[in-house]
Structure formats: C-alpha cells, structure tokens
C-alpha cells in the first residue's frame, strides 16, 4: 500500500509537476512528532521551539529532492548560526536507501526516518518534496509542494523573515 502511494506520488508529481509546485502561506501549530535521526538519536520537533525549522519531506527516488538537497545545505550553512535548522524527513520504507543517497550528497543537517509514513500522513504530504517553514513559536507559516530551480531563493527569503521576527 505504501509503495503504491509513493509510486502514485511520483507519477502524479511527474505528470502534474507544474500544478504541484506551489507555495502557500499557512497557519496553525505544527503537529509534534519524534523520529529516529541520522544523529543516532530521536529528534522531537517541539524541542526546537525558539528556532526556525524547515521540515522537508523527501525520498531517495525523487529527482527534484535530489536536486534540492545540496541547495538546502547552503541555506542551512548560511542561517544556522541565527537559529535555523532543517529536519529532512525521509519517507523511504528502507532507511538504507536514504543513507545510500547521502553518501553522494554531503549534508550536515539532521535526516529523520519516517519509515511508516506516520509523520508524512500527519502533515498531509501530497507531493515530493514538500517543505514547511515553522516559526520560532512552533507555528506553520509557509508550505511548498514540489521543487523547481529557484525555489531555494524563496526558502532563503522566508527563513530570513522568520529569523528576524
């Protein structure tokens, strides 16, 4: 079932990519979650209050995700000293697929493993990648579905705005 869902998301994102690549202002408290991370410990979103957080849902099979990941690292490097972090939530059922991808793409922000898709379902993720910007108070502010070159400029502007608040 989950593989079917992910395959469907991939097909949908490839056939209707333009319709899915959109940004929106959103509001409301970000649902809390805890996931195992690449740091060999569990990370909890609510423990990040006081920081600006970008939650990025991605998969190893997602071409746009692969394109976006190094650009997210650049944003992370630029803004982490100002209270910004990224939770890159991988949705592959097998975490070794994410780990294999990350051998070629060096990132220093935490990778979290949502192997049962509980968190992606909690956030109603419909496209890969999906990014949600969370303010210092734990509220969702911006939602991005999909990725196209240039989106990283929008991410950086939103991070900068949220850091200044």
Among 165, 142, 148, CA closest to 55: 142
Of the residues 6, 65, 112, 132, only one is catalytic, namely 65
Active site residue 62: yes
Exposure string of 31-42, with b = 16+ CB inside 10 Å and e = fewer, is eebebebbeeee
Q: Which of 6, 43, 52, 62 is catalytic?
A: 62
**How many other CB atoms are there within 10 angstroms of residue 161's CB atom?**
14
For the record, the structure tokens of 110 come out as 């935490």
- Residues 54-90 as b or e (16 or more Cβ within 10 Å = b): bbbbbbbbbebbbebbebbbebbeebeeeebbbbbbb
Is 65 marked active-site? yes
- Output the CA–CA distances (angstroms, integers) from residue 60 to 29, 32, 101, 105, 157, in the order listed: 28, 24, 6, 11, 26
Which residues are known catalytic residues? 62, 65
């Amino acid at each position: 079932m989950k593989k079917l869902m992910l395959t469907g998301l991939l097909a949908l994102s490839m056939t209707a990519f333009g319709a899915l690549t959109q940004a929106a202002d959103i509001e409301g408290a970000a649902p809390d979650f805890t996931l195992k991370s690449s740091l060999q410990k569990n990370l909890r979103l609510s423990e990040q209050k006081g920081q600006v957080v970008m939650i990025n849902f991605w998969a190893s099979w997602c071409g746009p995700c692969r394109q976006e990941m190094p650009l997210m690292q650049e944003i992370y490097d630029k803004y982490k000293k100002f209270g910004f972090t990224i939770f890159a939530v991988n949705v592959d059922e097998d975490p070794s697929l994410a780990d294999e991808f990350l051998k070629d793409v060096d990132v220093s922000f935490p990778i979290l493993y949502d192997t049962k898709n509980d968190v992606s379902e909690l956030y109603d993720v419909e496209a890969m990648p999906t990014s949600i910007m969370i303010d210092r108070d734990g509220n969702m502010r911006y939602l991005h579905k999909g990725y196209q070159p240039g989106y990283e400029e929008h991410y950086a502007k939103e991070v900068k705005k949220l850091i200044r608040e």
